[in-house]
Amino acid sequence: MFYIYYVNLKGQLIQFWIVQIGYLVLIALSIYFYQERLSSDTSYYFFKTLNTQWFHIEHDRYVLAIAELPVVILSNLHLPLKYIAIVFSVWHILFFYIIGFITYRIDKNANAWFVLLYVQTIGIVYGFIAPIFEQFYGTALAVLFYVLLRKYRLLNWPLRIFLMFLFAMVILSHPFNAVLLAFMLAMDFTTYKSFKKYWPFLILIPFYILFKKLNASTYENDKMNWIFDLEHNKTYQLLFQPEHLFLKARFFWYYYKEVIILFSITWGYFIWIKQNFKLIVFTLFFFGSLLLINFSYNIEEYSGYYEQVYFLIVPIVVVPFVFEVWNAIKYKTVLLGFGFLSLIMFGYRMNQQVNYAKAFQQKRKLTTQWVEHAQNMQGCKFYIPYENFKVHSQYVDWDMPYYSLLFSAMHGYSKQVTIFPMEEEPSKLLETPEHAYWFRGGELEKVSTLNSYYFQLCNSTYANLYPVKGKE
Residue-range domain boundaries for the chain = 2-359, 362-464
pLDDT at 2: 34
pTM over 0.85: yes
- Angstrom distances, CA of residue 86 to CA of 49, 95, 209: 15, 14, 38
* Torsion sign (Cα): 461, 464, 470, 471: negative
User: Do residues 22 and 121 touch, judged by C-beta distance below 8 A?
Assistant: yes
pLDDT tens track for 173-223: 998 999 999 999 999 999 887 788 888 898 998 988 888 888 877 777 777
Nearest of 347, 352, 348, 346 to residue 114 by alpha carbon:
346
Give me the residues paired with residue 437 across strands. Answer: 445
- Bridging pattern class, strands 381-385 and 418-422: parallel
**Cα(338)–Cα(421) distance, rounded to whole angstroms?**
48
pLDDT at 89: 97
User: Do residues 425 and 387 touch, judged by C-beta distance below 8 A?
Assistant: no
Give the number of other Cβ atoms within 10 Å of residue 398's Cβ: 13
pLDDT at 264: 96
pLDDT at 253: 86
pLDDT at 3: 36
pLDDT at 271: 95
pLDDT at 244: 77
**DSSP output for 416-458:** --EEEEESS--HHHHT--TTEEEEETTEEEEGGGS-TTT--PP
**Cα(173)–Cα(85) distance, rounded to whole angstroms?**
23
User: Do residues 239 and 288 touch, judged by C-beta distance below 8 A?
Assistant: no
pLDDT at 11: 58
pLDDT at 4: 36
Residues of the chain falling short of pLDDT 50: 1-8, 469-472
Instruction: Indicate the SS3 state at residue 132.
Output: coil
Task: Give helix 41-52 / helix 400-410 axis angle, nearest 10°.
Answer: 60
